[in-house]
């Protein structure tokens, strides 16, 4: 039985040009024979958990996972638990009520020390813009400035940031463009940090669900938050943005996107990293904005996320020994798998990074998009 399982797994790996015991970057060492049954029985969940448990190791984890995604092995090996996950996502609104706060508690509240070590000069947990940047800090500043320019921010404008994180985007916009504004987040840790960061600026940071918003703004931005909204709430999300945006305002949505319409996320990501999350497709977004907004611009710079993630990995690997002991070896292996899997998704173009600019009634004469 065990030999048969091993042959099946090795045949699948061969399709991805991966050789157990090989010496190339994409090759792996299998350290526990239980690996074969676990991967075949639990799919991506088993692959990630067995890595966390030390059952296998890779020369280059991102190179290995890129090979798997390139031949779509993730779509061909499924665990039994995925059936239940898919059914739950179909039947229930997992982001409703307190479900909307779960990702804040389990991911964003892990500890500001971890994110400070990983993210660089600014606590910006989203893709940098590397067009003219040579390092992570410059790429993140370029991204923030690109957002401000796309929105046409000017002194005195009132701006809303839906899912404001640690407040860096609003602070940048207030300091460089003279705006005032409101940021909402579902993370207690982020809210407290953002309030301290923005002291002395005309900014208000709220621990609040976006669905409660109903007040006017000249411009709205939302960076890296839409991935947690859930397909059952996409329409509601855009309805909230529309009711809060003045008729002559602009809304910028910055989010990771999928090439395929789905109603749930990868089982390993859902269990360990982003509970109740999912990546929207272009079709799902287009349907959700119908009769609410005019689509002025759709910008894809997804390959920049691979480079951003590599910089995050380098930062956090250099910092582990100085961080709290609660980030033990199993946590570190989990975090490595998360970052490497994300790199692989963008490198193989399975995931994209989109910035959309939306207007309520269309920009008179047309919108000219900065790059």
pLDDT score, position 246: 98
Question: Is residue 112 scored above 90 in pLDDT?
Answer: no
Question: Is residue 169 scored above 50 in pLDDT?
Answer: yes
Q: What are phi and psi of 95, to 5 degrees?
A: -100, 5
Strands of 158-162's sheet in order across? 203-207, 180-185, 158-162, 217-223, 245-258, 351-359, 294-300
Question: Is residue 87 scored above 80 in pLDDT?
Answer: no
Report, as an integer, the average pLDDT of 121-125: 95
pLDDT score, position 86: 44
Q: What is the pTM of this model?
A: 0.90
Listed range (20-29, 82-91, 205-214, 303-312) with the worst mean pLDDT: 82-91
Report, as an integer, the average pLDDT of 194-212: 97
Nearest to 69 by CA among 317, 314, 260: 260
pLDDT score, position 84: 46
Question: Is residue 91 scored above 80 in pLDDT?
Answer: no
Report, as an integer, the average pLDDT of 185-208: 95
Report, as an integer, the average pLDDT of 248-277: 92
pLDDT score, position 275: 86
Question: Is residue 93 scored above 80 in pLDDT?
Answer: no
Cα 230 to Cα 224: distance, rounded to the nearest angstrom: 13
pLDDT score, position 89: 43
Residue 17: how many CB atoms within 10 A of its CB?
A: 13
Report, as an integer, the average pLDDT of 44-53: 96
């Amino acid at each position: 039985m065990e030999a048969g399982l091993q042959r099946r797994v090795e045949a699948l790996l061969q399709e991805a040009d991966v050789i157990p015991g090989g010496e190339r970057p994409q090759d792996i060492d299998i350290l526990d024979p239980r690996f074969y049954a676990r991967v075949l029985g639990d799919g991506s969940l088993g692959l990630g958990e067995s890595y966390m448990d030390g059952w296998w190791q890779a020369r280059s984890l991102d190179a290995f996972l890129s090979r798997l995604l390139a031949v779509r092995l993730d779509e061909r090996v499924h665990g039994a638990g995925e059936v239940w996950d898919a059914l739950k996502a179909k039947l229930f609104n997992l982001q409703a009520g307190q479900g909307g706060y779960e990702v804040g508690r389990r991911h964003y509240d892990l500890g500001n020390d971890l994110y400070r070590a990983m993210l660089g000069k600014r606590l910006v947990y989203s893709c940098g813009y590397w067009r003219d940047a040579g390092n992570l800090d410059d790429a993140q500043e370029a991204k923030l400035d690109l957002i401000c320019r796309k929105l046409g921010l000017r002194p005195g404008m009132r701006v809303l940031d839906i899912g404001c994180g640690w407040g860096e985007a609003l602070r940048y916009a207030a300091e460089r463009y003279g705006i005032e504004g409101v940021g909402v987040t579902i993370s207690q840790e982020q809210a407290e940090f953002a309030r301290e960061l923005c002291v002395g600026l005309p900014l208000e940071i709220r621990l609040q669900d976006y669905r409660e918003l109903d007040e006017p703004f000249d411009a709205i931005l939302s960076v890296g938050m839409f991935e947690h909204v859930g397909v059952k709430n996409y329409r509601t999300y855009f309805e909230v943005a529309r009711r809060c945006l003045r008729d002559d305002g602009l809304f910028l949505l910055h989010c990771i996107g999928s090439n395929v319409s789905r109603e749930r996320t990868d089982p390993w990501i859902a269990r360990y990293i982003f509970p109740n999350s999912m990546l929207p497709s272009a079709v799902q977004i287009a349907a959700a904005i119908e009769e609410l907004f005019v689509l002025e611009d759709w910008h894809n710079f997804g390959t920049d996320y691979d480079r951003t993630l590599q910089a995050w990995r380098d930062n956090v690997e250099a910092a582990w020994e100085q961080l709290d002991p609660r980030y033990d070896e199993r946590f570190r292996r989990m975090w490595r798998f998360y970052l490497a899997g994300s790199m692989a998704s963008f490198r193989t173009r399975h995931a994209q990074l989109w910035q959309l600019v939306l207007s309520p009634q269309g920009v008179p004469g047309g919108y000219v998009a900065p790059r």
